[in-house]
Amino acid sequence: MTRRLLAMILALSGSAAAREIPAGDAPALDAAIASAQPGDVIVMANGVWTDAGIVFRASGTPEAPVTLRAQTPGQVILSGRSFLRFVGRHLVAEGLLFKDGAVSGGHVVAFRGDSDEEASDCRLTNSAIIDYNPPPGASSNWVSLYGARNRVDHCRFSGKNNSGPLLVVWLNGEPNHHRIDRNIFAQRTFYGGNGGETIRVGDSKTSLQNSRTLVEENLFEDCDGEVEIISNKSCENTYRRNTFRRNAGTLTLRHGNRCLVEGNWFFGDGKASSGGIRIIGEDHRVVNNYLADLTGKAFFSAIGFMAAIPQSEPSGYLQVRRALVAFNTVVNCENSIFIGIGFGSRGRTLPPEDSLVANNIIAGKSSPLIT
C-alpha cells in the first residue's frame, strides 16, 4: 500500500468518525462540548439563549477543527449575560448573535479561559455583537484576543457605546500573528475620552513587543468613540485594504514601531473631525492609501506626524523617526499632511526626524497643503 493511499484511507476514516451533535439547551451544550472530538460539529438550536456562559473547551486539529455552529446563522440569539470563551486549539464558532444583553467589566468573547488558559488557532466567524452594552458608567470589551494565530472574520460589530475598546489584542511577550479581516465595525460611540477605541492592538506596557497582527479588508463606518479608531500599541503590525467611512477619528500608530499602513481608503464625506492616519514612533511605512473629503485638523489630519516628548515614558509621545510616507493620494482634505502636531504643548518639543515624504498626490481647495 502506498503512503498516499494510506493517507487517503486515514483521512476518510477520520471524517467518518466526526459527528454532528445537536444541542437544544445549556446542559446539552455543555455535554456536547465535553465529548467533542476533532471534526465534530456542535449545532446550537435556534432560539434565545439567556445568560449562556459558553466555555468552548476542546481540541481539534488543523484538518479537523471542532466547530460550534448556529442551526441557522443569526437565529441563535445570546442575550442577558451571555458570553463565549475559547479554551483550546483549532476551534471555530460560527453564526452566533449577541444582542439584548451585556457583560460588565469583562469580555463578551475571549480567546482564553477564566484561568488564563490562552487559546490558539481558533476562529470567530460569521457572527455579530449588536448593541450589547452595560448600564452607563460600566466598561466592557466585546472581543479579546489572547494566544496566537486566532482569527476574527466576516463578523458585524455595531452599536458599542460604553468605555473599553471594542476589540483588543493582548500581548504576552511573543508575536501572536492574529488576523482580523472582512468585518464590519459600525456606530461606535463614546464621549468620555480615552477608552473609546474600536480596535486596540497591544497597550503602552507592551508597546515595544512584536505583535504582527494583520488587520485587513474591514469596513469602519461611523466609529466615533475617540480620536483613535484603531490604536496601534505594539510593533510590526499590518493595516491594509481597509475602508474607513465617516469616522470622527484616525488610524493611530500610537505606540510601537515598524508598522505598515498600506492600501486603505478613507472617506470623510465631509463629516466633522473625520481623519486619516496619525504617526508616532519609528520606521513606520504609510504607502498607497487614498484619503478624501476629511475635515479634521491637527490630531485629526489626513496624514499627521506627531511632535514628541524628550525622554518620554512609553505611555507618552515617542519621536517619529525614519517614517516613509509615499504614493498616497489626498483629495480635498482640511489638513492634508501635518508635520509636528502638538509641537510646543505638553512637553512636545521634538519634531519628526529622518523621515521621507515623497511621490504623494495632494489636491485641495485650501493652502498650505502641507503644514
The count of other CB atoms within 10 Å of the CB of residue 136 is 9
What pLDDT does 2 receive?
52
pLDDT at position 14: 46
- pTM for this prediction: 0.92
| Separation CA 155–CA 86 (nearest Å) | 17
**How far is the CA of 159 from the CAs of 98, 99, 107, 222, in angstroms?**
12, 10, 16, 10
Residue 355 one-letter amino acid: S
For residues 94 and 153, give the distance between their C-alpha atoms in angstroms, rounded to a whole number: 10
pLDDT at site 10:
39
What's the pLDDT score for residue 8?
44
pLDDT tens per residue across span 76-132:
999 999 999 999 999 999 999 999 999 988 899 999 998 789 999 999 999 999 999
Return the C-alpha cell found at 44. Answer: 446550537
Q: What pLDDT score was predicted for residue 369? A: 72
Side-chain-side CA neighbours of residue 353 (13 Å): 6
State how far the Cα of 289 lies from the Cα of 275, in Å rounded to an integer.
13
| Intervals of the chain under pLDDT 50 | 1, 3, 5-16
Q: What is the H or E stretch that residue 252 is in?
A: strand 250-255
- Per-residue pLDDT reduced to its tens digit, 15-58: 446 899 999 999 999 999 999 999 999 999 999 999 999 999 99
The pLDDT assigned to 345 comes to: 79
| pLDDT given for residue 251 in this prediction | 98
CA distance linking residue 193 with residue 158, whole number of Å: 20
The pLDDT value recorded for residue 16 is 47
pLDDT reported for residue 114 = 80
